[in-house]
A = this chain, B = another copy of it.
Amino acid sequence: MENVIRNRTERKKEETRRKIIAVAMELFNERGYARTTVDQVAEGADVAKGTIFNHFPSKEAIVAEYVRRNARETGAEAVNLLKELPDTRSRLTALLQRSLEWFDKNLNRDVLKVYIVYMLQRSLETVKNRGMRSGFNNILEPIVRMGQEAGEIRPDISAEELSNHLEWISASVMILWLAYPEKPLSDIIEREVDLFLNGAFDRRVHEGCFCRVIDKEQTAFFTKKNGHRHNKT
């Protein structure tokens, strides 16, 4: 209903949006975000400046929409791929790896920074508003939910809140990655994912009774057997 482009009006509208995004992204990646003016984009896309702000609330929003569109395209496929993976740790690691590689390929550093800041800013306005979430959050939440259903992730915090928390951790990963380009990306990701899953407490003394990487089946078994103290409604 919404995804189908109904008639010529819609098609034309979509076409201008598409062109604005295409021209803008090319200019941003080529000359840099700051050195590209909205007027230049307007000229390149052959529309009035007003038209651009008709479609996008701000210059940064063009970048965000570019990313969002790509996430839409590949999002469903990504969720399916993630389902194949054995546990939450591997799913999160894979998702972050995949996403950051995409960013690396498609956005300049300074454009990426703009994107990150804009998304954080928007999350300030939209934590409550589920419809307006970033594409990222839409993938994080299913992952958390899967983990909870498998008994791997604690059920006392809702998937919504956990994925929100995860979104911030993802931002942290991106920023570390930008700040330390010489460090292998996989190291940063593994570390932050581990911190998310295991927390900051020192667990070495307990290693005997608690293995970091939980065997999924076993946990599921335990949870099913005697894990109903916090009666879930």
Q: Please report A residues at the B interface, Cβ cutoff 8 Å.
A: 88, 113, 116-117, 120-121, 123-124, 127-128, 144, 147-148, 151-158, 161-162, 164-165, 168-169, 171-172, 175-176, 178-180, 191-192, 195-206, 209-210, 212-214, 219, 222-223, 225-227, 229-233
The reply to whether A155 and B117 contact each other, CB–CB distance below 8 Å, is no
Q: Which residues of B contact A162 (CB under 8 A)?
A: 195, 200
Q: Which residues of B contact A230 (CB under 8 A)?
A: 158, 204, 222-223, 226, 232-233
| Least CB separation from A178: chain B residue | B124
The reply to whether A200 and B154 contact each other, CB–CB distance below 8 Å, is yes
Cβ contact of A202, chosen from B155, B209, B233, cutoff 8 A? B155
The reply to whether A179 and B128 contact each other, CB–CB distance below 8 Å, is yes
Q: Which residues of B contact A203 (CB under 8 A)?
A: 154, 210
Cα-based distance from A201 to B153 in the complex (angstroms): 5
Q: Which residues of B contact A223 (CB under 8 A)?
A: 156, 202, 204-205, 230
The reply to whether B202 and A152 contact each other, CB–CB distance below 8 Å, is yes
In the assembled complex, how far is the CB of residue A9 from the closest CB belonging to chain B, in whole angstroms?
34
| Least CB separation from A151: chain B residue | B202
Closest 10 CB pairs of A and B: A199-B199, A127-B179, A156-B222, A205-B222, A198-B199, A154-B202, A168-B172, A209-B209, A168-B168, A128-B179
Q: Which residues of B contact A201 (CB under 8 A)?
A: 152-154, 197-199, 212-214
| Least CB separation from A158: chain B residue | B229
In the assembled complex, how far is the CB of residue A64 from the closest CB belonging to chain B, in whole angstroms?
15
